[in-house]
Structure formats: C-alpha cells, structure tokens
Amino acid sequence: MKSEWVTMKASDFIEFNPRLSLKKGTLATKIAMDKLQPFTKRIDITEKALYSGGAKFCNGDTILARITPCLENGKTAFVDILQEGEAGFGSTEFIVMRAKEGVSDPQFVYYVAISPFFRERAIKSMVGSSGRQRVQQSVIENLELSVPPLQIQKEIGSFLSEIDKKIAVNNQINDNLAA
C-alpha cells in the first residue's frame, strides 16, 4: 500500500495563503488567535467584526499559527464553521492552507499540518527576535511530503475526523460531569 504513496513538495500538495475576496469594512466572521484551543481541531468561538485586514479563509481551510508561542502550543484548526460561500478572517499570524483540487483532501491537509513531522520542521524554521519568532513559510512550502493517492487521503481524513468527533463528545461529557 505504501508503494502507491508519492513524494512531493508541500506547495504542490497544499495551496498556501490562497486569495479570497473580502472588502475592507465588510462585516464578517472573525476567528481570533486567542479563541483557538491548543491541539483542538474544532473552532468553538467566533465573532462578527468589520474586516480591516488579516488572513482570509473559507470552509475546508486549515489555519496554522505561525508565531511563537502559538505554534508550539498547538494552535492549528480546521475551518468548518462558516456559512456556504462565506469568507472569514483572522490574525495576520495565521498561515492558511487549502487542499488543491484533485490533488489533496482538506481533512488530510489538516492532519498533515498537525503531524509531528510537519510541526517540528515548522518550529525549527522559526526566525526573528526572541518572543516574536515566526515560521519561515518558504521552508514549509518546500517540505518534502510523502502522500497517498487522493482516495486514500479521503479515507484517512474521514477516519481521523471521526476519532476527533468522539474525543470532542467525551470532553463534553466530562465537562458536564464536572459541572
């Protein structure tokens, strides 16, 4: 099965910071960095705000914190809370990653982004002054990834997504019991 996997640059597999149209002054869904929970796929808290700048994304995109300590703390999430066709926005400190049509699966892209392999290289690429270090996007764009065929990506992404849903339900049950 592994023999069907191919090695390719991340930029051939993932579209980084794709263009989206959102006019300044437009009321839109905002996802602030402080609303992302460490090592949690789901985005639970959003707000409506006037767009004045920042990363733009849509459903199916993965948002990855590019600044210290947010990246090290696991602030990476999968966007699935927007309305159909809606563009949202957030911190300028997000790297937006989108699956490429016919090449990659959105869920699989998220799981690649949270994999130890990807995270370790992103963290090691950070440069800048102490406390304000940022990922060198060019390093992760040129990262060599080993990826399966699209159908296998979909199966892996779906399976891991179901596990994440079960974890979320268990956490909710635990919170209810604690209350």
pTM more than 0.85: yes
Per-residue pLDDT tens digits for 94-136: 999 999 999 999 999 999 999 999 999 999 999 998 778 999 9
Q: What are 118's two structure tokens?
A: 């990807």
pLDDT digits (tens, 9 = 90+) for 6-54: 999 999 999 999 999 999 999 999 999 999 999 999 999 999 999 999 9
**Cβ proximity of 94 and 55 under 8 Å:** yes
Cα-based distances in Å from 2 to 107, 144, 156: 20, 16, 13
Q: How far, in Å, CA of 32 to CA of 105, rounded?
A: 25
CA distance 161 to 111: 9
Q: Which of 107, 119, 116, 118 is nearest to 152 (CA)?
A: 107
Hey, which residues does 27 pair with through a beta bridge? 50
